[in-house]
Every structure is written in C-alpha cells, then in structure tokens.
Chain A
C-alpha cells in the first residue's frame, strides 16, 4: 500500500492546552456479595488507583483487554457510576461533589458515545426525538427550533433529513453509531467519552466513523477520551495513550513516543499480538502465556507478573512505582 504513510510525523500537537479533566487516584470497586444474606465478601477492583490528565482539545486513548477497567473509568468520570475513592476534576470542579442538579447542568458539557449501537438507542423512540430530547429537557432550545437543530446535527453526522421520523431498528450499525454521535454532539459538549465506538462495526464502516470523529474534533475543538481494545485505532486517533491492565495504568505516553518506544512488557506484548495485514511480515511475536487473572483476586506485586516474560521475584512482592521516564512518558515496571 503506497498511501501517504506518515510514520514519524506527529498529529497537530493539541496536547499543550490547559488541563480540562484531571483524574487523581481514582478507585472503583464493585462489591461481590455472597451467602444467604448477600453480605459483602469481597471487591472487584475494576479501577484501582488511576491518575491522568486530559488537556483541552486533545484525544486521550485508553487501551487494554477485557476486565482492565477502561470502560469503568469512562463511566465513573461521567458519574454514571459512583466512585469508591479519588477525585475527578472537570474544568476545575470536583465532579463527584456536585449536587444532583449541578451535575445535571454539567452533563451538557460532557457526553458519551457507547459501544453497542443496538442497545444504546431506545427501540421505541424515533431518531429525531432521541437526538433532540436532551436539548428540550435542558431547556437549551425552544421546542419550535429543536427540529431545525436536530436536522443540522444529523447532517453534520452524515445522516439525511428523512431519517428524522424513523425508528432505530431501521438503521444499520454504522448509521446507529452516527445517531449516537449526533445525540452526544447536539449539546455542544466540550468533552466526549467514546467507549469502544467502532468495535461493533465492520471494517469499512469503522473507517467512516473514525474519520467522522476526527473531523468533528477539529471542527468543534472537542476533547476525547477514546476507550478501545484496538491499539491501531487508538494510534490513529489519539495524541496520548494510556495502557491499562487489571485496573491499573501500566504505561502512559504521547502516541508516537509510546509506539516507537514502548517500555512496559505488557505494551510490547499487546503491540505484537495484533495481526498485521501483510503476509510477508513474519515477526517474532511475544505470545503471553495464560489468561487474564480475575480482577476480584488480582496477583500481588505487579499485577502483570503472572504473564510477564521478564518477571522476577521483586515483581511478585513489590508494586512497581509509576515513574516519569521523561518525554511525558510514564511507566509502572521495575525493569523499565
């Protein structure tokens, strides 16, 4: 493929803006109940002390495998879940200390696009209403002007005016995802959490949605938290990337730095596990042994030590420090 491949050149460095969202030592535990009386017998430590900052105008990627807590972070920082501990600051305000009505106003500024375009739309509500209802409910636009606004937004998202009166089941996955994006976008938010927005879509449709999202970002100066299990999508779309494993941030760096110089063995393994669509490339790949441990009972020390090809005794006993390696590159590994 002789496309204009940009390997070294960076995307416009938007990461230099002021911080929009700060997550400090966020923890989210889900209780496990058991026994006859449904007593709490343990915790699933879905998110276990994660910190990061997202600057205005950048897109921050969170990558990891199932059970690493990336989706829980997205939901907790939008307060769709309660937190267990830690602090989320948005525009200088501590989100989890806001009252219900303050939070309701705040929701116009921060939105989410869900993974499953099928279950994230109410099957009994027409598309036009689904997109516009929040505007009306928040009293942002008068009832008369809503339709106009909805249709404008639908067009921006690549939908046609005649889609207004249709039901979600009449649309394909890709179109539904466009509806989901329009619904988030109509409030003119500053920040959007995109929770695996393309992983339920076909390849050719994935590319459409990814392009749409990056167009919208540059047009509207949006800030994204982009959650995905697919490193290649994240590399394409994000300025900075955090790699998570079992509720902990393992490595975080600007995209180009991370992909050219991965320091954590887990990041390296993830990168080498992705099949490359080129049969002539026969790489020596790092195949991780074993399964992902359960977040209810994570390994001691470094959570990755059970599968790590470099693991030694210190990894079993000591939690590695999350260190700054320079170049905004952070890593939690004894050997980095």
Chain B
C-alpha cells in the first residue's frame, strides 16, 4: 500500500532505500554543503590552533614584564604591542584564549552531562522523577543568573582562592547553572520518542531500562544535544568573559579574554591604546560567531524533521 504523502515524498522515501549511509554520514554530508557553517568551523579550528599551539612559538613568557617596553604600539618585535607592564599582548591573547575556550568547553560538558541525564530520567520514568527534576529545573530557571554569578564570584574572592584554581570553580558554577535548557529539550524529546513503536518493541522484548535509555533513547536525542551544546559553548565563553570583565571570574595575573578587556575601563587605554583591548574583544566576537555558525549548520544538518524515519 501507499505510504501517505505526496509523490515527491514517496519517492524520497524510496530513494532512502538506495543510499547505503548511516544517519550520521548523511548529517555530515549535509553539514559539508553548508558554506557558512564550514567557514565557522575553519575559523574555530584556526582559533584553537592559535591558542593551544601558538604560544609555543612565542619568544616571550606569560608574566615576563619589561617595563622599558611598556605601552608600545604594535611593531615588528611586539606584533600586537605591549601592555602597561610591558607584557606581549599577542602571547597574552593566545593564552587567554586557552583559558576562555577551556572554561567554555568544560562548563558546557558539565551542563550537558547533567542536563542530558536528568532530562532522560525525567522523560523516561515520568511521574515522581519527572515532577521533582522539573521543579528543580524551574527553580534554577527562576534564579537570576548574573546576580548569582556576581555573588558567587565575590564569595570566591572573599575565600582568597588561588587564582590558578579559581577557574575550576568558575567552570563548575557556569556548568551547574546551564543545564536546565538542555534537560527540558531532552525530556520533551524522550517523551515523544517513548511513544514510538520501536520503544514499544523494546518493552515487548523485555529489554532492561538502562539499555532502553542509553542505547535506544539517547542516541536519538544526540542531535539536539550536539546543537544545544555547541551553542552552549558560545554562551559559556560569553558568561566567563562578562564575569572576568567584572573582575569576578578569572582574575589577573591569569589572562582571559574577559579580564583583558578590562583595560578599556581605563580612559587612557581606551582612547590611546586600542591594541590593549581590541584583540581580546575581537577574539570573543570571532569565536562566538564561528561557534554560532557551526551550531546553526549542525541544527540544519541534524534537523529532526528531516531525520530519516
């Protein structure tokens, strides 16, 4: 009998039989066709190379001050100039990138793990588990993020935590505050999926809950997890920058893009020495834009509506 749908859809349905490709391969192919997303990916890769490998080629070291060369405009020796302590801005931007990108990635990883697991549990078991988890999510959603972060930042400062360790706390805090959106997405996806016939089949086969969740349900939510995680990295980088800019996130001497822009707070630096704050600002802008482009591309490539049945 006919599959419902117009002839074009039927035809596409038939063609799927022809193509020997996994759903992932199809998504990758679609992604590769998206020019903007590819540009984003290339930029992001360059950014990573610059931040993680670039410093190895620098003749300077991180906290090497050279008061004689302070406040130099970009020149052949210091490509992006120096700051008021005579530190090389180029090197600092690259190392700041390491911190910012790491914070973004780790914080997102934390919120993805929490969000996906809680969302899956809520969606799969429903009833009490669902109610409890979703009410907690509501509470988190009702917390004003920025004031909380500022308060927590102030507490960290008060506890006199070593600046090097401080970033770990920062990752944890940003991660803990960011899981709610994903948990809701995963939960709703799983609620839909568990009504599908193939989930009834797993019930009829008597599979264990663990297998049902992790082998059957989760792989079908991975597309939205990937998309949401990608966009989450951009958000985490922005949050980290904002906090560091306010002096509550990563604190000097550890550089981060956010706290480097703090230079713009000083009127003289802002007007006379744009090289101190434009490079980190541009880095944030470029990185976040690139990640968002990739996220959009991934969303199109993995769109559940186009997903093969």
Contact = CB atoms under 8 A, between A and B. Distances in A.
- Chain A–chain B contact at Cβ < 8 A: yes
Contact of A166 (B14, B20, B200, B211): B20
Interface string B211-225: 100011001100000
A133 B1 contact: no
B308 interface: yes
Interface residues of A, number: 40
B76 interface: no
A103 interface: yes
Contact of A137 (B1, B203, B207, B307): B207
A123 B23 contact: yes
A266 interface: no
A112 B201 contact: yes
B204 A107 contact: yes
A173 B220 CA distance: 21
Interface in B212-248: 215-216, 219-220
B198 A169 contact: no
A321 to B, nearest CB: 35
B198 A120 contact: yes
A134 B308 contact: no
A114 B23 contact: no
Nearest to B14: A172
Between A108, A124, A187, the greatest number of chain B beta carbons within 10 A of the residue's beta carbon is seen for A124
A80 interface: yes
Nearest to A135: B205
A118 B309 contact: yes
A122 B205 contact: no
Most A Cβ at <10 Å: residue of B14, B22, B204, B211: B204
B219 A172 contact: no
A125 interface: yes
A290 to B, nearest CB: 26
Interface in A93-142: 103-108, 111-112, 114-116, 118-125, 133-134, 137-138
20 contacts: A75-B200, A80-B200, A80-B203, A107-B206, A111-B205, A114-B201, A118-B3, A121-B198, A133-B205, A133-B211, A137-B205, A137-B206, A167-B21, A167-B22, A169-B17, A169-B308, A169-B309, A170-B16, A173-B3, A202-B1
Given A105-B206, A167-B21, A170-B19, 18 more contacts: A75-B200, A111-B205, A116-B197, A118-B309, A119-B198, A121-B198, A123-B309, A125-B215, A125-B216, A137-B207, A169-B309, A170-B17, A170-B20, A171-B17, A173-B3, A187-B205, A199-B1, A201-B1
